[in-house]
Structure 1
Amino acid sequence: MTTISNLMALVTAATSGTETAKSADRATGRLLDAAVLEAAHVGLARITVEDVVRRAGVSRMTAYRRYPRRDDLVAALVQRETDRFLAAVADGIAAATDPRARVTEAFIAAVRFSRIHPMLRRAGQTGSSLSADDTAMLLEAGSAFVATQIAGAGNQPSQQVRWVADVCARLILTYISAPPTDPDFGDDAELRRFAEEILTPMVARATTP
């Protein structure tokens, strides 16, 4: 499972422009980019290596050398897109110094990312969902990330902070996969008011001595 230190290492690498060996591999990048589009088209549960290979324009041998099983491709896809999501959120809150403002900015950045991400847009439009294991991984990573942001770099999140972070992560994931009409997810000003009036008080209580 993803630890907080490992998660923050991933986010730091992503936001600084450092690439892993896999992301530096052009063929791997093409495969994962194609997998994103294929998952957006048919759903994550229905993608096949063969369809991704055709969409990516690489050979079957190239694909199977990297991902011997379909599950390996799906796992790599979910991990990369999770890293990208967290990096986008980290960018969105980089300028915020108040822990309460960080959660607001994290929420807004997460929604903005979901608006343009093919897989997340499909989830919002069709109600399709990730597997239980993938959802658990996303929640763990998101909760750990939010807890670190609330507590501040170098500080160990308290139990109350971890609870609030878990609530925030679950709320964000639910709202992304099934966007409400109120607040309007297309209106950043309304999102900000929602975050400040609903999420900020929770964070304030968790961080008040």
Structure 2
Amino acid sequence: MATPAERRPGTRGPLPGDHRQRLLDGMAAAVRERGFARCTVADVAREAGASRRTFYAHFSDLDACYLALFEQFAERNLAAVAAAVGADGDPRERLEAAVGAYLEALERDPSLGASFFRELSLTGAAGRERLSAVNRRAGEAIHALALAVQAQEPELGVEAMSVASARLLVAGIVQMALFALDGDGELDEVRTEAAALLARVLFSSPR
């Protein structure tokens, strides 16, 4: 049974097995409010309605909680990208949907999404490795789309973009999206231009 210190007035106490997700939600709320660099374990515990002891029962430190939140965030959005790439239909529409899915996380939760791309490096090598892995998987998804179109619709003359080239484009798209969040442009414009750029790279080269 949850102790009074683990509850907020007017909310239910944590259910068995629910503590970890509530702590992740608490981390998300704290990051949205003050950014990861200014977060403390006490902030996360307070937002989650939990005790510090409960926090340390699930995470070794603040970095571990933040990294776990990023992994949850990234998996959800990479799954959306994979679904868009694997869908039926015009390859350009699939490409546009994949770009939209990748940027949707920033549009839906701009403070949290921007924090990951700007502050994950504060966790050291572990954070940099996770960012690199997400970039690689997004690049691999674009590469896979090019291979699929090349095999299924050879008349389009699609050349298989390398994973490295796709990763470069993904990194540029993310950076432009961050600029848009800072007031330099609009995310809708980034989405449209990014899809058009990828389409030109994928579909304009003759065989």
CA–CA separation in structure 2 for the residues paired with 1:31 and 1:90: 28
Q: Which residue of 1 aligns with 2:8?
A: none
Deviation (angstroms), 1:40: 1.3
1:20-53 CA-partner distances (Å, limit 9, x unpaired): xxxx931111100110111111111222111100
Counterparts of 1:49-64 in structure 2 under 5 Å?
Answer: 49-64=41-56
1:162 maps to amino acid: V
Q: Which residue of 1 aligns with 2:180?
A: 179
Q: Which residue of 2 aligns with 1:111?
A: 103
Q: Which residue of 1 aligns with 2:141?
A: 148
SS of the residue corresponding to residue 87 of structure 2 reads coil
Judge conservation of contact 1:139–1:166 (CA < 8 Å) in 2.
no
Could you tell me which runs of 5 or more consecutive residues in structure 2 were left unpaired when the two chains were aligned: 1-15, 149-158
What's the RMSD between the two structures over aligned residues? 3.5
Distance 1:46 1:159, change over 3 A: farther
1:110-133 CA-partner distances (Å, limit 9, x unpaired): 222211215346659xx9543164
CA–CA separation in structure 2 for the residues paired with 1:142 and 1:128: 14
Deviation (angstroms), 1:66: 0.6
Judge conservation of contact 2:179–2:185 (CA < 8 Å) in 1.
no
Residue 21 (structure 2) pairs with residue 29 (structure 1):
yes
1:50-81 CA-partner distances (Å, limit 9, x unpaired): 11001100122221011122222122122112
Residue 189 (structure 2) pairs with residue 197 (structure 1):
no
Residue 81 (structure 2) pairs with residue 89 (structure 1):
yes
Distance 1:69 1:94, change over 3 A: same
SS of the residue corresponding to residue 87 of structure 1 reads helix
CA–CA separation in structure 1 for the residues paired with 2:39 and 2:130: 20
Distance 1:143 1:96, change over 3 A: farther
Judge conservation of contact 1:108–1:191 (CA < 8 Å) in 2.
no
Deviation (angstroms), 1:88: 3.5
Give the number of the structure with larger relative contact order, counting CA–CA contacts within 8 Å between residues 6 or more apart: 1
The one of 49, 69, 90 equivalent to 1:77 is 69
SS of the residue corresponding to residue 68 of structure 1 reads coil
Percent identity of equivalent pairs: 28
Structure label with greater radius of gyration? 2
Deviates more, 1:93-102 or 1:70-79: 93-102
CA–CA separation in structure 2 for the residues paired with 1:205 and 1:172: 20
Distance 1:45 1:118, change over 3 A: same
Judge conservation of contact 1:99–1:150 (CA < 8 Å) in 2.
no
Q: Which residue of 1 aligns with 2:165?
A: 164
Judge conservation of contact 2:85–2:145 (CA < 8 Å) in 1.
no
The one of 77, 88, 94 equivalent to 1:102 is 94
SS of the residue corresponding to residue 179 of structure 1 reads helix
How many residue pairs match? The answer is: 178
CA–CA separation in structure 2 for the residues paired with 1:82 and 1:193: 22
